[in-house]
Structure 1
Amino acid sequence: MACGEIITEPLMVAAIDLGTTFSSYAFATRGEFKDDPTKISSYAWCTGSQPGLSLKTPTCILFDKVQNFFAFGAEAEDKYTELAQGGGPHTLVLL
């Protein structure tokens, strides 16, 4: 494909929902769409410390002390809570 060329038949369509409280994403491939236009795939997130799965995860991200990505969503909340309740010093930042 040449630089700047318009793709007339995309391989995939994706949607990202970054909400103020919860976030999610969904997608469909060209092959799936041709077979069944109503088939849309999404991710079932673990709900962290709560049992079960959800189509959305908390909108939060955890970074280490040099601002490298550490965790996202329920995993980020759980790790930060674990460190905060431990009482010791920690070097992670939750946004």
Structure 2
Amino acid sequence: MQDEKCHTIVVTNQGGSYNSLDHTRHQFCLAHVTRNLQQMSEYIGGGLTSHMGKRLDLLCHAVFRIQHRYEQGKIIDIDWRRRIFHLKKNLSA
């Protein structure tokens, strides 16, 4: 598949063979990212690597939790948008 002919978002693991995909149409699988962040949070050296891994892992789990609640009809669209907005804000803080 040639990158320029792809008109959809391609979700992949973080394998190097996908590096040629157009970054505007390429998304990493969140489950793979979350697993990597969990490993980062358990980094034996601790310090900033472990701290950032823990923080990012918590944020990823919050995204999953909010998305599942939305899909189950437990929260409405406006609440979903507000919560995701706050998570994005926390990510950049």
Q: Which TM-score band applies after superposition, normalised by the shorter structure?
A: under 0.3
TM-score normalized by the length of structure 1: 0.27
Larger radius of gyration: 1
Scaled by the length of structure 2, the TM-score of the pair is: 0.28
Higher relative contact order (CA 8 A, sep 6+): 1
Higher share of residues assigned helix: 2
